[in-house]
């Protein structure tokens, strides 16, 4: 059975740009006449006329066909196909008839650069100034780009702006304004599941191809391959799902409504065979309208960034956190050191709990609204940033912390450039059977200084506590504040274990070795350093649960 993969469509999609005119022509689909309801009508009173559906069905189909033809005629002039070429070096035999300047030594061969077409995709006309919008992955790395218009003309283009994190790019062609018909843009936030849509592009280099379908899902996330400076992958939020056939080459093309207005940019498919399987992903017009003007102006786009990772607050997690099962929100799992979230004082999760057989981080802040807009899950928060937020803007987050609602102002920063960053994997406490229920890391002079302690403090810093585990029941606290130590991010601020039953603990390894001498059910005295003060707690060790 083939594993499903998410395929970015690396071919050009031909998109028809919509004519920019004061009076847009509305293309209405016909109202299909429903079949009359079946009734128990006596024979003597039964109608003698034919049912309405039978008599009007041919007209309805003709009207439907006319509507689709009208959409295509309106949109096609705004759609382009894009051919992408890269420079390759061709080896030529030495030519004795050429001057020495064109030969490369006795017996050596000549190297001649040439362009070779490496990809194709789609795009659409944005304005009468020659700006063409497409996907970034269509033109990324291209040395030569050629834009082919629906009337058969073509022009070379240059990239003037691109943003890998929204997968959008803007090209520029030198074409008279009279020959350019910009697409008309709809508000994708008003899109509805079941809404009829049309895709036009260049699948498999078949220019001007049109497919039809419906919007089959809203609010999807399209995960990109890039990794940001926190080591976390980035996803495009608010993505539209459609069953209109989308194939390689449709990338950068248009998905339009029945009025021929742009709802979004066809970007990717989910398929085991890199062909249409009825699940296509479309970057919504609300993001396109926000990003493209800035790409035209500045050449790049700064994504607003909070600096957290997290999960949805589910009923199961809410129960673990002693919240109402009906409570919803975005649960903060980790806070990136030095990020806006860190500066604003957002608190990440310091505990883990078993939910449906998996370890889940719990106990952090729960974001329930952003600037008054409800946040029911993590996707809502990401969509808010994509739709409404900008870099340097101060937003107001409503947060649940320890069951109480508080307001936190947060000033957004620009998302760090993608980079491959290795995240520290915190060592788990291991033992020969006795289980304390924590994750810990070694103290270092830098960590001690950041926690306001003397640099020579040693011990096992508690990073996370397993919910309802032995340490949690004894009141041991995990860490909550992000900190970067020698290029590695960790969490600090939790308890520091310095002794177990009088045995000195110099670090995580020593803690594991000491616990190995106990068995589940043993009661041990653990000495903690908390906020610079030493205290003792009694802990009944348990048995580590099976993963």
Tokens of 288: 């396109």
| Angle subtended at Cα 198 by Cα 192 and Cα 201, rounded to the nearest 5 degrees | 135
Work out the number of other CB atoms within 10 angstroms of the CB of residue 294. Answer: 16
Question: Does the active-site annotation cover 251?
Answer: yes
Question: Does the active-site annotation cover 131?
Answer: no
Distance CA 399, CA 412 (A): 16
Nearest to 537 by CA among 511, 509, 499: 499
Distance CA 407, CA 294 (A): 31
Active-site residue (options: 137, 271, 309, 431): 137
Distance CA 401, CA 359 (A): 21
Active-site residue (options: 78, 251, 339, 466): 251
Tokens of 509: 């390894």
DSSP helix, strand, coil percent of the chain (3-state; round to 5):
20, 40, 45
SS3 102: helix
Tokens of 389: 């937020």
Please report where in the chains the tokens 């989308």 appear, as a residue: 246
Give how far the C-alpha of residue 448 lies from the chain's centroid of Cα atoms, to the nearest Å. Answer: 36
**Among positive and negative, which fits the CA dihedral 275, 276, 279, 284?**
positive
Distance CA 94, CA 394 (A): 65
Active-site residue (options: 16, 131, 163, 167): 167
User: C-alpha distances in angstroms, 276 versus 35, 71, 246, 264, 402?
Assistant: 33, 22, 6, 18, 47
**Among positive and negative, which fits the CA dihedral 115, 119, 121, 123?**
negative
Tokens of 160: 């003037």
Nearest to 186 by CA among 83, 285, 309: 285
Residues in the chain: 547
Q: Which residues of 319-347 are buried (b: 16+ CB within 10 A; e: fewer)?
A: ebbebeeebbbbbbbbbbbbbbbbebebb
Contact 140, 106 (CB under 8 A): no
Q: Which residues of 480-511 are buried (b: 16+ CB within 10 A; e: fewer)?
A: bbbbebeeebbbbbbbbbbbbeeeebebbebb
Q: What amino acid positions are annotated as catalytic residues?
A: 137, 167, 251
């Amino acid at each position: 059975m083939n594993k499903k993969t998410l395929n970015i469509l690396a071919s050009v999609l031909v998109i028809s740009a919509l004519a920019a005119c004061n009076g847009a022509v509305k293309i209405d689909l016909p109202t299909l006449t429903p079949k009359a309801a079946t009734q128990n009508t006596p024979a003597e009173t039964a109608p003698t006329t034919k049912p309405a559906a039978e008599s009007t069905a041919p007209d309805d189909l003709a009207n439907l066909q006319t509507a689709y033809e009208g959409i295509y005629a309106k949109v096609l002039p705004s759609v382009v196909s894009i051919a992408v070429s890269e420079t390759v070096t061709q080896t030529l035999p030495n030519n004795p008839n050429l001057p020495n300047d064109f030969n490369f030594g006795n017996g050596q061969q000549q190297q001649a650069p040439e362009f070779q077409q490496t990809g194709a995709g789609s795009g659409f006309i944005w304005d009468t100034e020659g700006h063409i919008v497409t996907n970034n992955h269509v033109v990324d790395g291209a040395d030569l780009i050629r834009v082919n218009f629906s009337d058969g003309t073509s022009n070379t283009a240059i990239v003037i702006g691109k943003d890998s994190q929204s997968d959008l790019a803007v090209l520029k062609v030198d074409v008279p304004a009279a020959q350019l018909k910009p697409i008309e843009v709809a508000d994708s936030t008003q899109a509805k599941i079941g809404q009829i849509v049309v895709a036009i592009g260049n699948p498999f280099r078949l220019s001007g191809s049109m497919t039809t379908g419906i919007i089959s899902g809203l609010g999807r996330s399209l995960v990109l391959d890039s990794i940001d400076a926190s080591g976390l992958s980035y996803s495009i939020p608010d993505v539209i799902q459609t069953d209109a056939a989308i194939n390689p080459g449709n990338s950068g093309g248009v998905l339009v409504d029945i009025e021929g207005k742009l709802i979004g940019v066809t970007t990717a498919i989910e398929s085991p065979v890199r062909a249409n399987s009825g699940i296509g992903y479309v970057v919504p017009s609300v993001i396109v309208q926000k990003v493209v003007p800035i790409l035209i102006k500045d050449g790049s786009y700064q994504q607003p960034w909070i600096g957290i990772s997290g999960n949805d607050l589910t009923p199961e997690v809410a129960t673990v956190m002693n919240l109402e099962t009906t409570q919803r929100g975005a649960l903060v799992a980790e806070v990136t050191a030095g990020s806006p979230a860190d500066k604003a004082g957002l608190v990440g999760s310091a505990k883990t709990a078993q939910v449906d057989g998996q370890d889940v981080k719990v106990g952090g802040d729960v974001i329930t609204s952003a600037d008054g807009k409800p946040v029911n899950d993590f996707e809502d928060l990401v969509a808010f940033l994509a739709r409404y937020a900008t870099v340097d803007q101060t937003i107001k987050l409503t947060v649940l912390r320890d069951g109480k609602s508080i307001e936190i102002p947060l000033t957004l920063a620009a998302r760090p450039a993608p980079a491959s960053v290795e995240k520290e994997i915190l060592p788990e406490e291991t033992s020969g059977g006795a289980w304390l229920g924590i994750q810990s890391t070694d103290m270092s002079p830098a960590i001690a200084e950041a926690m306001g302690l003397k640099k020579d403090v040693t011990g096992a810093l508690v990073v996370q506590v397993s919910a309802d585990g032995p340490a949690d029941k004894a009141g041991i606290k995990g860490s909550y504040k992000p900190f970067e130590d020698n290029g590695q991010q960790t969490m600090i601020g939790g308890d520091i274990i310095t002794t177990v039953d009088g045995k000195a603990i110099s670090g995580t390894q020593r803690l594991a070795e000491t616990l190995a001498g106990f068995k589940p059910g043993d009661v041990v005295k653990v000495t903690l350093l908390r906020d610079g003060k030493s205290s003792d707690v009694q802990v009944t060790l348990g048995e580590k649960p099976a993963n």
